Chains A and B, each alone.
Chain A
């Protein structure tokens, strides 16, 4: 039993570190840099999204974190026993899990489509060779603004979830 738990915890924590770290890194460093780069910004984003497959990476690490977390939650809670859910750690892990699930849904349904649309726009611009049309510039701008706003909530909620998860075992009520 110990072996499976060690593997699940390793996956959960390593993938979680990559997920939260990347979300915060994007918000605090990538996004402002892209803004300052001017015309090179969209090009950078296109490379990040299309060639480096940033959305795929985020999708994979968030899915791994959530899936391994569900297994761990199920095991620790004895199959969702209320006696466990209502303890301090139970409340901490349940709260952290629910917040993380909301963030996962935001990433999947709100961030991923926008990132993909941004990559597609970048491809279109690259294909024509010329400068982007005003419509393309406007759409890129809107997408960027939306992703920043959503990404900010994503990073804040993920940090809340992370703190809950990291401290849950010490919660007392």
Chain B
């Protein structure tokens, strides 16, 4: 009985500390809501991706523009131009968006309908093809991956 009580109280503490930390992280994570002043004058590319389950796989689905409805669409950008990627959590599972080689990483989203976006640009020296994917363990392998091409 005592052990059960101990376990339950520790878990309650986890949730409390967790939600506190959560609030801290949301406010301490500017990439989630970039300051308007820090944004480049002109946005070259804007992409919106929504997470979903398709044919038994976890995927990103393009929303709007040329990538609308495309599963794990190929994203492209000119070097030097700024890119905004908006991520919409469409399935209520834990997801994020990351391009390891370009240092692009959004916060994790877990609530259905939650969104986050990130603005970045690549230099000429970074021209090439990169993988974008979800960093939650197993999600990349479960299908959440696509290509991001930086043209010179």
Contacts and interface: CB of A to CB of B under 8 A. Distances in A.
B123 interface: no
Contact of A2 (B14, B20, B25, B137): B25
A7 B21 CA distance: 8
Interface in B6-64: 6-7, 10-11, 14-15, 17-25, 29, 53, 56-58
Interface string B80-103: 000000000001011000000000
B70 interface: no
Nearest to B111: A1
A4 B21 contact: yes
Interface in A1-45: 1-8, 11
Interface string A67-94: 1100000011111011110011110010
A1 B22 contact: yes
A67 B3 CA distance: 13
Interface stretch (B71-79, B125-133, B138-146): B138-146
A60 interface: yes
Nearest to A66: B7
A156 interface: no
A2 B91 contact: no
Contact of B22 (A4, A11, A82, A172): A4
B137 A168 contact: yes
Contacts of B20: 3
A169 to B, nearest CB: 5
B19 A2 contact: no
B108 interface: yes
Query: Which of B20, B25, B91, B109 is most buried by chain A, counting CB atoms within 10 A of its CB?
Result: B25
Contact of A81 (B7, B25, B58): B58
Contacts of B19: 3-4
A2 B108 contact: yes
Contacts of B15: 4
A8 B141 CA distance: 23
Interface of B: 3, 6-7, 10-11, 14-15, 17-25, 29, 53, 56-58, 91, 93-94, 107-110, 136-139, 141-143
Interface of A: 1-8, 11, 56, 59-60, 63-64, 67-68, 75-79, 81-84, 87-90, 93, 168-169, 172
Q: Which 9 A-B residue pairs are closest in the complex by CB-CB distance?
A: A3-B21, A78-B93, A3-B22, A89-B138, A87-B141, A4-B18, A1-B108, A7-B18, A87-B138
25 contacts: A1-B22, A1-B108, A2-B22, A3-B24, A7-B14, A7-B18, A11-B10, A11-B14, A56-B3, A59-B3, A63-B7, A67-B11, A75-B93, A75-B94, A76-B94, A76-B139, A78-B53, A78-B94, A81-B58, A81-B93, A83-B57, A83-B142, A84-B142, A87-B138, A90-B138
